[in-house]
C-alpha cells in the first residue's frame, strides 16, 4: 500500500449519539417560535443529517429568509449545547478506532453537517479534539449531503485523492455523498437499518465501530 490513506468520520450517529439532545432542542425551538410542525421522532429521523437550513424550512412550514435561518440555527444549537453539556459519551468503539487509525498512520478528518461550534464542543466533550487533521462543517460548504462537497473538501484538506479515503457514515444521505465523491464507505447502523445503507452504496455495514479492525479496514484499499 503506497502512501497514507485517509479516514473521514461523520459526527452524529458515528462518533457520538447526540440525537436525544438535538430532538429536544428542536422541540424547544418549535415551541418558542410557535411553528406548526409537530416535532416527533419520525420527523427527526427523516431530517437527521440534513443541514439546518433544510430542516428549518420543514419545521416552519414556509420559506425562510437567510437572516431567519441564521437566527433560528444559532438558537437551536445554543439549546443543543445547553442540553448536552457534560452528558455526551462516545459511541462504542469510536475512541478506540480513531486512536488506532492514528497510530497506524491514517490521516483523519471529520465531515459533518453540524456547525463548527457544535463540532468543537462535541470533540472536546469526547476528548477527541487533537486527533483530526482536517474538519469540514456546515459553514465550509455550499451544498449539504447527499452532495459530495463535504467529503471532497475533507480529502482535499488531508491532501489525498478521494479514492484514498474511507468514510464512516450512519445516514443514507451521507453514504450517497461518499459514493458520489468516489470514496469507500463504511455504514454504521446506529440510526438506519443496514439494508438502507447498503442500498445507498456502503461497501461494508457494521452495527458499531467496535466491529472494525484497523488491519481489516486497511485491506479495503
Q: 77: domain CATH number?
A: 1.10.150.240
Q: How many domains does the chain have?
A: 2
136 and 112 Cβ atoms separated by less than 8 Å: yes
Does residue 152 share a domain with residue 102? yes
Active site residues: 10, 12
- The domain boundary, picked from 84, 104, 126, lies at 84
pTM check: above 0.95: no
- The domain boundary, picked from 40, 64, 84, lies at 84
List pLDDT tens digits, range 161-197: 999 999 999 999 999 999 999 999 999 999 889 999 9
Query: What are the start-end ranges of the H helices in the chain?
Result: 19-33, 41-47, 52-60, 66-84, 94-103, 116-126, 149-158, 172-180, 194-200, 214-219
Does residue 137 share a domain with residue 36? no
In a domain, 208, yes or no: yes
In a domain, 160, yes or no: yes
List pLDDT tens digits, range 54-113: 889 889 988 899 999 999 999 999 999 999 999 999 999 999 999 999 999 999 999 998
- The domain boundary, picked from 64, 84, 104, lies at 84
In a domain, 1, yes or no: no
Does residue 26 share a domain with residue 64? yes
Amino acid at each position: 500500500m503506497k502512501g497514507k490513506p485517509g479516514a473521514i468520520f461523520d459526527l452524529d450517529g458515528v462518533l457520538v449519539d447526540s440525537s436525544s439532545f438535538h430532538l429536544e432542542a428542536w422541540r424547544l425551538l418549535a415551541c418558542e417560535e410557535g411553528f406548526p410542525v409537530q416535532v416527533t421522532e419520525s420527523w427527526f429521523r427523516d431530517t437527521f443529517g440534513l443541514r439546518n437550513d433544510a430542516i428549518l424550512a420543514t419545521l416552519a412550514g414556509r420559506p425562510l429568509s437567510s437572516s431567519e435561518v441564521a437566527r433560528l440555527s444559532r438558537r437551536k444549537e445554543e439549546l443543543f449545547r445547553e442540553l448536552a453539556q457534560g452528558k455526551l459519551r462516545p459511541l462504542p468503539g469510536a475512541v478506540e478506532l480513531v486512536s488506532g487509525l492514528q497510530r497506524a498512520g491514517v490521516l483523519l478528518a471529520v465531515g459533518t453537517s453540524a456547525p463548527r461550534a457544535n463540532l468543537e464542543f462535541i470533540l472536546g466533550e469526547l476528548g477527541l479534539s487533537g486527533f483530526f487533521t482536517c474538519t469540514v462543517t456546515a459553514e465550509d460548504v455550499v451544498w449539504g449531503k447527499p452532495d459530495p462537497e463535504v467529503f471532497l473538501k475533507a480529502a482535499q484538506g488531508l491532501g489525498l485523492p478521494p479514492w484514498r479515503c474511507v468514510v464512516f457514515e450512519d445516514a443514507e444521505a451521507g453514504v450517497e455523498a461518499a459514493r458520489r465523491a468516489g470514496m469507500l464507505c463504511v455504514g454504521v447502523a446506529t440510526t438506519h437499518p443496514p439494508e438502507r445503507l447498503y442500498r445507498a452504496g456502503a461497501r461494508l455495514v457494521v452495527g458499531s465501530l467496535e466491529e472494525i479492525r484497523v488491519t481489516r479496514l486497511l485491506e479495503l484499499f
